[in-house]
Amino acid sequence: MAKQPTGSKTKPSTRRRRSAAKDTVGTNPPPTPQTTESPISSETASAAPVPQERPTTQSRLEPEQPEQPEQPEQPEQPEQPEQPEQPEQPEQPEASPVVAQPPAREAPAPYPESEPPPPSAPARPGLFVVHVTPELATVAKVGGLADVVFGLSRELAIRGNHVEIVLPKYASMRYDQIYDLHEVHRDLWVPWYDGAIHCSVYFGFVHDRKCFFIEPHSGDDFFNRPAIYGYPDDVLRYAFFSRAAIEFLWQSGRHPDVIHCHDWQTALLPVYLYEFYQRLGMTHPRVCLTIHNFAHQGVVDGELLRATGLQHPERFHHHDRLGDPRYPGMLNLLKGGIVYSNFVTTVSPRYAFETKDQGQGFGLEGVLHAHQIKYGGVVNGIDYDLWNPEIDRHIPARYGIETIETKYDDKRALRQRLMLADNEKAIVAFIGRLDPQKGLELVRHAIFYTLERGAQFVLLGSSPDPAINADFWGLKRMLNDSPDCHLEIGFDEELAHLIYAGADMMLVPSRFEPCGLTQMIALRYGTIPVVRAVGGLADTVFDKDHAPRPLHERNGYVFNDYDHAGLESALGRAIACYHDYPGDFRALMHNAMRTDYSWNRPGQDYLNIYDYIRNG
């Protein structure tokens, strides 16, 4: 075959089978699980943190399940008067209750010659799981999503599953963190508009995780840019990536048991699977979509259909498929992901409730109700290989719960590094994206309030929005002479580790917070979280004075109202406890460090979900 010149959008003739698929109206919506069993074992579910105010509607993942109807696709569907037709069910292993397992799949031969040692003997047949993701710590990280894929993929592998990760090959990646990167697929042609874009696929290990990086060669330069996000064509960039990812799986003969997608960036993948690839023979994989933040949905006009070959606009613009509920005539990728995936999770039970029932779904509340049978929340875990003060390479003094005194060496080191005064004061810290979601007015207020209360403040954050950055630069200049305050505007992974170890309190005053990792990382470092009771913050932090929990489970300070008084009520108590009742504060630090937010429990939850959709 004569190769197309790089950048050509002309489809090679061998791709005729694809255009046949494109021309056919898809009739295959996703299979819905047929079992009425909860995907979460009752043991796991009952051990999960319970929201302080219980949702009125049970999530799929909560312990007490209402009796489910035999046909799960029958709940009231305000968004979907027209039910998608039943799919042809691929051959399924016979469903049996609770512990039914699909047969172990033989994973395709991995590309590298030398495999890392196999994980310890699994107690259950392994699954072949492919994560398709726009971010992965430690190579391409913007927020918590990167940490989640990093941590979950490792946990699944430890449990004896074959796990691979597919992500774009960004020019801006940390290539020093990728081991043995090499090209494994030269001729991946990915349909796009009326032609196809030529891509290469690379393989490499990111801290033992098996990763495939897709590099398109076209004038669009989709990923050959200085930043990961922030471009006017972002939606089309990731619509392309999702197509490239599934095309790669198909062409390389990979038929995973589960394809796990993340956020709107990869939400089109199940649409492609059920509209195109299923009819080509890709009937085996099931799709789990995890939504890390409903604020970003990938809303785009009809150009998407022309680019992707999802023809028949009336079909895809329809409100039971991709039609955006808020902007008439627009398409919504995240909504498509919800409709077409076999299971949809978000990153905490509280956020699942808030998005479905409390108006926090950014317009997708009705869609979540229509699909509630396959929707639930799983609190993220923390990768304790990466975030652990006992082994952390980025901090000068390592410590554990028995050697907690040593934490104060890190506090001194942090002060030295940021040129803060060395005194008896507490250090209050904030680490996060400078996004309105994070409660920036309250962060600003907290800086002045902390100084006024005789404590120190450290901030590490950045924003892609120049106006927000400029605002914080102004604040930094204003406070430049203060020996008790340092604002670091930028992204600095190493400094983040030192702040987690050296600070006494970690402030997370978010307007909304799907899960939040900073409070969970802080807990591990004995740094007391001061948080607003929303989303995952409410599921993971329990107020020292007011939580309806045994004393030894209380691990921080919590406030409800998004205003100055609310913030002060929690931060003021934390600072007062630090100064006036150091014994109590120390006990709280022990509680914090004992809290287990490893991937152990969420890893099992996700495996239960995978089994649930495989056996459905």
Chain residues that interact with ligand ADP, rule: CB under 6 A: 143-144, 147, 431-433, 460-462, 491-493, 496, 515-518
Kindly tell me which of 134 and 285 has the beta carbon lying closer to ligand ADP: 134
Q: CB of residue 131 vs ligand ADP: minimum separation in angstroms? A: 16
Residue 39: HSE in the Cβ half-sphere, 13 Å Cα cutoff: 31
Kindly tell me which of 358 and 469 has the beta carbon lying closer to ligand ADP: 469
Kindly tell me which of 357 and 492 has the beta carbon lying closer to ligand ADP: 492
Q: Which helix (H) or strand (E) holds 599?
A: none
Q: CB of residue 374 vs ligand ADP: minimum separation in angstroms? A: 24
Kindly tell me which of 176 and 314 has the beta carbon lying closer to ligand ADP: 176
| Integer CA distances (angstroms), 560 to 52, 546, 567, in order | 11, 12, 8
Kindly tell me which of 338 and 496 has the beta carbon lying closer to ligand ADP: 496
Burial track 119-132 (b if 16+ CB lie within 10 A, e otherwise):
beeeeeebbbbbbb
Provide the 8-state DSSP code for 274.
Answer: I
The one-letter code for the residue type at 319 is: H
Provide the 8-state DSSP code for 29.
Answer: P
Cis peptide before 138 (omega within 30 of 0): yes
Kindly tell me which of 320 and 513 has the beta carbon lying closer to ligand ADP: 513
Kindly tell me which of 258 and 499 has the beta carbon lying closer to ligand ADP: 499
3-class secondary structure for 350-405? HHHHHHHHCCCCCCCHHHHHHCHHHEEECCCCCCCCCCCCCCCCCCCCCCCHHHHH
Residue with tokens 């810290």: 429
Nearest Cα to 286, choosing from 269, 301, 300, 266?
269
Q: CB of residue 525 vs ligand ADP: minimum separation in angstroms? A: 11
Sheet of 162-168: strands edge to edge? 179-192, 195-206, 209-217, 162-168, 128-132, 258-262, 286-291, 343-346, 375-377
Kindly tell me which of 143 and 195 has the beta carbon lying closer to ligand ADP: 143
DSSP assignment of 330-347 equals: -EEHHHHHHHH-SEEEES
Judged on CB neighbours under 10 Å (0-12, 13-18, 19+), 233 is: middle
Rounded-to-integer distance, Cα 493 and Cα 77, Å:
44
Beta-carbon contacts of residue 211 (< 8 Å; ≥ 6 apart): 136, 139, 164, 165, 166, 167, 178, 203, 204, 205
The one-letter code for the residue type at 606 is: Y
Tokens of 56: 């009125």
Q: Are 267 and 133 in contact (CB under 8 A)?
A: no
Rounded-to-integer distance, Cα 488 and Cα 169, Å:
29
Rounded-to-integer distance, Cα 209 and Cα 115, Å:
11
Kindly tell me which of 219 and 226 has the beta carbon lying closer to ligand ADP: 226
SS3 556: strand
Kindly tell me which of 309 and 461 has the beta carbon lying closer to ligand ADP: 461
Kindly tell me which of 173 and 236 has the beta carbon lying closer to ligand ADP: 173
The one-letter code for the residue type at 72 is: P
Residue nearest to ligand ADP (CB): 144
Kindly tell me which of 143 and 400 has the beta carbon lying closer to ligand ADP: 143
Q: CB of residue 423 vs ligand ADP: minimum separation in angstroms? A: 26
Kindly tell me which of 396 and 464 has the beta carbon lying closer to ligand ADP: 464
Kindly tell me which of 270 and 432 has the beta carbon lying closer to ligand ADP: 432
Rounded-to-integer distance, Cα 177 and Cα 182, Å:
14
Q: Which residues pair with 168 in a beta bridge?
A: 214
Q: CB of residue 165 vs ligand ADP: minimum separation in angstroms? A: 18
Tokens of 152: 């979950």
Per the document, the length of the chain is: 616
Q: CB of residue 604 vs ligand ADP: minimum separation in angstroms? A: 21
Q: CB of residue 20 vs ligand ADP: minimum separation in angstroms? A: 41
Q: Are 37 and 29 in contact (CB under 8 A)?
A: no
Judged on CB neighbours under 10 Å (0-12, 13-18, 19+), 464 is: middle
Kindly tell me which of 9 and 476 has the beta carbon lying closer to ligand ADP: 476
